[in-house]
Structure 1
Amino acid sequence: MGVGRFVYTPILPLMHAQAGLSAGAGANLATANYVGYLVGALAGTVVPRLVRSSVVLRGSLLALVASLAGMALTQSTVVWLFLRLGAGAFSAMIFVIAASSLLSHLREHPAHLPGWAFGGVGAGIALSGLLVLVLRTAGTWRSAWWASAALAVLLTLVAWGLRPEPEPEPAVRQGPAASARRAGGPQTRRWFNALFASYTLEGIGYIIAGTFLVAAINQTLPGSIGSGAWVLVGLAAIPSSALWAALGRRWSRPDLLLAALVVQAAGIALPALAGGVAAALISAVLFGATFIGVSTLALGAGAHLRFPRAVALLTAGYSVGQIVGPMVATPLLHHGYHQALLLAAAVVLAAALAAFLLRLGFPHTMSETITERAGGDRRPTPGAGAAGSSSSREAGASAEA
């Protein structure tokens, strides 16, 4: 998924220089990918059985590989548009299936396992960035797409045996109390709404930074610094989820989500507020170390609330944010990229505010009933609700029983 979604970013300059792709058409291809991501996320929401199907997973993996290889077979912008649209949809389906599988199968396992799995997105970014960095001098835009498809084939072979989330037990077996909790009462909806708002705003701010961070760095520094910064984003993302999960032994998901969003906002704003190589590289590390961590924390919190189809709904909101982000940032690009980064940082700070609201009365252990939690913010005592509960121990990674 990391290769399929993000290899387009480092290949784009080659397509501009060698394939005659205009800046406007390049932006349209990126938007098509975001729209496709929304389509895939909505499909998982409307038809939950898709998320539990090995056939859908394997078909999406193969289709994603085909979409990468297909980019090298044509120079038609229209065909490219449909290929990137498909790549977005298949990537979203793969992510929703994989995330749901992690949240269900690894709930009793150490938090670092699902954390490292989510870090695979960062590995895909780093590998595809390094691949294109090598091919910039020895190959063409076509060879870059062929190489990325070959890399995706190898990763597909490893991912082939992933078991999707199992079918839920019938509500009759769970009892009326469990059924009511899964349906989500008013308090659960309030917490989920705050989480949904935070994650959607993160989608807006993150994609603005992800789209324009390298360009903003290249605006004042040599191009190699921008390319290197993108690889650094991927490298920083690999261990990020596992590290955030480790922090969950002492702090709860809402606290960590708030902290990650504040750190990310600072990293996004840094290149716009301070020039130089150091600021660019620090920005890349802070961005890479948080954007996947935010996803795992938010998805884990949604699953913890036992809100129906939480992963698919949150992913859908996130993908809507990805479509909106470039649209609201485009008017600012006439003055360079720094204003766009400042806008992105402001939006991520708004996401942090929503995460702060999520903290109020959040049920750190779901054994507490909704009516018990509605009375006030009963935070866990040290060692009981933070380090001791499975809820915090698996922060950002799994759903608790």
Structure 2
Amino acid sequence: MTRTAVQARPLLIAVGLAAGPAVALGLARFAYALVLPAMRADLSLSFATAGALNTANAAGYLLGALVAAPLATRLGLRTAYLGGLVVTAAAVLASAGTGSVPLLAALRLLSGATGAVVLVLGGGLAARAGRDAGAQQATRLLAVYFCGGGAGILLSGLAVPPVLAAAGWRGAWVVLGVLAFAALAAAVPAARAVPADDAPASDRRAGRLPLRPLAPLLVCYGMFGAGYIAYMTFIVAYLRSEGAGAGTVTAFWALLGAAATVAGFLWAPLLAQLRAGRGIALILGVLVLGAALPLLPGGLPVAMLSAVPFGGAFLTVVAAVTAAARQYLQPRHWTAAIAALTTAFAAGQCIGPVLSGTLSDGPGGVRAGLGLGAALLAVAIGVALLVRDRRAGAPAAEQAPAQARPPAQSE
């Protein structure tokens, strides 16, 4: 096999595994913002209630992050990843069948929990696929994997608005569910192609995850989770309030998804050269720009422009934080580290929608909620600058990549 073919195989696996974030993030989580205005009108939901439904999803995400690693130990990475993907798709599809707020909240909770399992364990599989890669290639694989979320946003942006106009919000959930099940066609062969864990049994005892070196990353990631979700939950409602029609919303969401899809490829070479904290801070700076644009004078045109910097940064933050954790830790800790970071991220997402939704119901309207999100992201920049570059913490990953081994999980 040629060197090019050897290098291409992990990349193709990462592309297939990216169907996981496409479903867990793009379809099950972020597409809610597209369906929300129609649901609010039909079900007479306040912004606070709409935010609470997304908080239910974030609470499920928190639960899923906590159980992902133990679940993978019990069932195996592949089985747990694919099983979570199936349940997430089923929960999305089932959302079309009820107008009950408690039932919708339960489905949002379920899709959040299984979506987190998919995201965490898919990251573990992507790390295993690139276990012999150096820092730059490993960063590229993680960026490709998380770009799946952008592809899901792009897909939902093209599919949902026309369906909303023809079949309402229930029809939109049906289409999202069908797309989620269709993603299995890419995810299943990719998961099966990931090399088996051939580490000795003694190496599979990961031991206690060292949280101290991860502390600034955990705080930063939690602030990011609380800040970005305000934009992703309420930006479509804001566009509607500024007079945007279905075509404009479709264009905006597709632009956001397209920017998120290609961003990882563009950021990866730069991130591989920058120190971890500076790289994360730089991406967060671009994200703050995107989050702040709708708050500036100019109305709808300026808000539309925000899709480019925001879409081009928010999923790359996820990849950059994950890559930073990879620098700090031995390979046996990678999956546990992704789970811990996702837990902090989910905790922030639990807080963000309620706070921004409550502010949006006040005299400041949706702009106030969006302003809160931008402020939290600005604080996250300062925390990111506290993250030190400690490559010595992961010698097997950075100094001797050929001997690196994937996160310890049973098959």
TM bracket, shorter-chain basis = 0.7 to 0.9
Distance 2:251 2:74 in 1: 38
Please list the CA deviations of residues 215-249 of structure 1 after superposition, one character each: whole Å capped at 9, or x if unmatched.
23333342444453233211111011222212134
Distance 2:395 2:179 in 1: 46
Q: Counterpart of 2:233?
A: 211
Q: SS of the counterpart of 1:358?
A: coil
Tell me how far 1:104 sits from its aligned partner: 2.6
Please list the CA deviations of residues 72-131 of structure 1 after superposition, one character each: whole Å capped at 9, or x if unmatched.
223333222211111111111100011111123214453434322211111111111211
> Is the Cα contact below 8 Å between 1:114 and 1:242 reproduced in 2?
no
Q: Counterpart of 1:281?
A: 304
Q: SS of the counterpart of 1:75?
A: coil
Tell me how far 1:347 sits from its aligned partner: 1.2
Q: Counterpart amino acid of 2:219?
A: A
Tell me how far 1:285 sits from its aligned partner: 1.1
> Is the Cα contact below 8 Å between 2:69 and 2:121 reproduced in 1?
no
Structure having greater relative contact order (Cα 8 Å, sep ≥ 6): 2
Give the 5 Å matches for 1:304-319: 304-306=327-329, 308=333, 309-319=336-346
Distance 1:50 1:126 in 2: 34
Q: Which runs of 5+ in 1 are unaligned?
A: 370-388
Q: 1:23 to 1:254 in 2, by over 3 A?
A: closer
Q: Counterpart of 1:323?
A: 350
Distance 2:50 2:199 in 1: 46
Kindly tell me the number of residue pairs found equivalent between the two proteins. 365
Q: 1:191 to 1:156 in 2, by over 3 A?
A: same
Tell me how far 1:50 sits from its aligned partner: 5.4
More moved, 350-359 vs 21-30: 21-30
Q: Counterpart amino acid of 2:59?
A: V
Please list the CA deviations of residues 45-90 of structure 1 after superposition, one character each: whole Å capped at 9, or x if unmatched.
5555158432222221211121122122233332222111111111
> What CA RMSD, in Å, does the superposition of the two structures yield over aligned residues?
3.0
Q: Counterpart of 1:193?
A: 215
Q: 1:328 to 1:165 in 2, by over 3 A?
A: farther
Q: Counterpart amino acid of 2:184?
A: T
Q: Does 1:340 align with 2:341?
A: no
Q: Counterpart of 2:286?
A: 263
Give the 5 Å matches for 1:94-243: 94-109=118-133, 110=137, 111-161=139-189, 162-163=191-192, 169=199, 172=202, 189-224=211-246, 225-243=248-266
> Is the Cα contact below 8 Å between 1:45 and 1:313 reproduced in 2?
no
Give the % identical residues: 31
Q: 1:168 to 1:31 in 2, by over 3 A?
A: farther
More moved, 349-358 vs 138-147: 138-147
Q: Counterpart of 2:13?
A: none
Tell me how far 1:271 sits from its aligned partner: 1.2
Q: Counterpart of 1:247?
A: 270
Tell me how far 1:28 sits from its aligned partner: 2.8
For normalisation by structure 1, the TM-score amounts to: 0.81
Q: Counterpart amino acid of 1:209?
A: Y
Q: 1:329 to 1:15 in 2, by over 3 A?
A: closer
Q: Counterpart of 1:376?
A: none
For normalisation by structure 2, the TM-score amounts to: 0.80
Distance 2:94 2:394 in 1: 50
Q: SS of the counterpart of 1:337?
A: helix
Tell me how far 1:265 sits from its aligned partner: 1.1
> Is the Cα contact below 8 Å between 2:123 and 2:145 reproduced in 1?
no
Distance 1:317 1:121 in 2: 19
Distance 2:113 2:217 in 1: 23
Q: 1:47 to 1:159 in 2, by over 3 A?
A: closer
Q: Which runs of 5+ in 2 are unaligned?
A: 1-23
Distance 1:172 1:54 in 2: 21
